[in-house]
Amino acid sequence: MGGVEGLPDSTRYGYGVSSPADGPTLSGVSDVLQRLRGALIVSVQADDGSPLRDTGIIAAMSRAALLGGAGGLRLRSPEDIRTVRALTDVPIIGLTKQAQPGSPVYITATPQEVRAVARAGAEVVAFDGTDLPRPFPVADLIAEAHACGALAMADISTLAEAQAAYAAGADIVGTTMSGYTPHSPQQAGPDFTLMRELAGAGLPFIAEGRLNTPELAAHALATGAHAVVVGSAITRPDHVTRWFAQALGVAGDRSS
């Protein structure tokens, strides 16, 4: 069963392996990213305070996602990663979510968090790769992931951030943060414009963010995504219930 410690040097790095100065190249794709090509990655997370914020429940939902055909998982904490890693050998994208003093960055914001995620068994460490004020530079987080034998995934919100992340040595980027920074589009749906920009620039990416129907997920793949992450629509019944409740409330207001 694969873990970060066993990844050989020839396969552990991603698109940027050939030459960081030359940018991402398909010839440098790691075995992990090859396995994720075209896959549905299910984000199995629960907010603090949610009745689902329990590692046993996260593990059960992960198993259910795998039974449904997930080719990878995105998990939030070292404890969750360690528990789920014992159940499966599919690629895990791991992260932490923790508030940082004086910074809005909260996704795997420090080298210590990167190290904890990688050592728990995540082959890919996801971190905030935006240009928001941050406690540590993106390059430091990438270096720590590589030092631990893991791939580095920068969650970005703009094309410029993706370019900067690849220049710093990231193995892959995700559109995760679009809509969550003040300088990215604030919209209800997925940021397909960003996806088209990334594809047009030849920058490989994982699509993530508000892809809440099978049709939207398929469209993201058709737009050029390497893989697609879906979370709330699959693993957060409280969020999905809220969508329905709000829609019914609006319909009720219109009919009254």
Domain extent for 93: 31-250
Number of domains in the chain: 1
Q: What is the pLDDT of residues 25-56, one digit of tens each?
A: 333 448 999 999 999 999 999 999 999 999 99
By three-state DSSP, how is residue 77 classified?
Answer: coil
What angle do the packed helices 111-120 and 78-85 form, to 10 degrees?
20
- Average pLDDT of the chain, as a whole number: 90
65: phi then psi, degrees, rounded to nearest 5: -65, -40
HSE-up (13 A, CA, CB side) for residue 124: 29
CATH assignment at residue 234: 3.20.20.70
- Does residue 118 sit within a domain? yes
Q: What is the pLDDT of residues 133-170, one digit of tens each?
A: 999 999 999 999 999 999 999 999 999 999 999 999 99
- Does residue 100 sit within a domain? yes
pLDDT at position 80 over 60: yes
Query: Among 169, 206, 172, which residue's Cα sits nearest to residue 191?
Result: 206
Tokens encoding 249 = 């409330």
Q: What is the pLDDT of residues 214-229, one digit of tens each?
A: 999 999 999 999 999 9
pLDDT of residue 14: 53
Question: CB under 8 Å, gap of 24 or more: what pairs does 237-240 form?
Answer: 237/52, 238/50, 238/52
- Does residue 10 sit within a domain? no
